[in-house]
Structures are given as structure tokens and as C-alpha cells.
Chains A and B, each alone.
Chain A
Amino acid sequence: GNSVTQMEGPVTLSEEAFLTINCTYTATGYPSLFWYVQYPGEGLQLLLKATKADDKGSNKGFEATYRKETTSFHLEKGSVQVSDSAVYFCALSVWDYKLSFGAGTTVTVRA
């Protein structure tokens, strides 16, 4: 079956620190990979995605590269801000549109 494993949190950082959240996956077929973000009290919104091996998704200073050889899609940001405090979810989708989510990683950035 399809599954996603992501780094457990919570993660607490100072402003301008480097953020990495690890994500690995297991999938049948050729999945698309996603990072969704959930800000406090809100629904999820797409942060970035990659649809094939070696693609790099990027948005709002965040980046993630689809690594087929290591079945990974790690999220990185070089300099976090307080406004980046949120829960981050790694997810995958195969041909049937359904998303399989990781457990989520709570990130808190302190000023």
C-alpha cells in the first residue's frame, strides 16, 4: 500500500534558523508528492508539490526535491520566520487522486 512517514515533532526554532522536515514514502506506481501546511485554526493549503523524480517544488522560500532513489521528499527552508509556525504534512497521491498523509510535524518559530 501507500504510506508516508515524516519526522516527528514538535520542532522549535529561532527566527532565521534553517528548517528541515524529513519525509519518506512507500508507494505502488509513480506517485506525486506534496507538502501541505496548516496554520493555526485553519484548513490545509498546498505549500508545494512535485510530480516526477528529480523535480523540485518551491514556494514561499520552502523547497523539496523528489528523490526516487531514496524515496524521500524532505522539506527545507533556509531562514524561517515566526509566520512559518504551523503544522506541515507530507502527502502522496497515485493515479486515483486520493492523498495519503503523514502524521504532521508541528513547527514553532520563536522571535
Chain B
Amino acid sequence: AQSVAQPEDQVNVAEGNPLTVKCTYSVSGNPYLFWYVQYPNRGLQFLLKYITGDNLVKGSYGFEAEFNKSQTSFHLKKPSALVSDSALYFCAVRDDSSASKIIFGSGTRLSIRP
């Protein structure tokens, strides 16, 4: 069975500092991993994904994520946070079988203070 965990309900970071939003996963096959962002009163927007290849994936708005197979993690990172990065972030996973569905984490609220 697939599962994904976001251990932090909220992450607080000062503007200009690096940020990390954590995600760990469990799948039976090879993982496909995603990060989505949700701004207030909006739907989820795709940020980035890992399918195969380089463990460091670069996405929208300067975000990147590192796939770590041994730790079954896919943490979202950004070198220098902006106040506009404040939003709700969701990690998601599916395995590589054609019938597999995406499972979303519970979300982490990122708050960037000026």
C-alpha cells in the first residue's frame, strides 16, 4: 500500500533564509513523487515531480526537491524564502503501475515572516 507523510503541520521561516518542507513516502514499486502548492482560495498547483534520473529536481518559483531512496524522502527546498512563498504545500506519491493512483499527504503550512 502507498502512503505519504508530512511530519510538520507548519513551518516558519524568516524571509531570505533557506526553507525545507519534509516528506517521506512508502510504495511497493518505484515511486513517482510530486509537490503541489495551494494558495488561499485556489486549487492545487503543480510545483515539481520526480520520475527517474537525477535525484535533485528543480521546479517552479525556485523550488527544488531531493529524492533520497535510502531514506524514502522527498524534501522540498528553497535557498532563499520569499514572503510570497507562504502557502499550503502537499507532497504526493504514486507507484509506477498503470493503475496506481496518487496519494496526497496532509499538507504543511509554510509561513514566511518579513
A and B part of one assembly: no
B residues sitting closer than 8 Å to A (CB atoms) are none
Taking Cβ atoms with an 8 Å cutoff, the residues of A that contact B are none
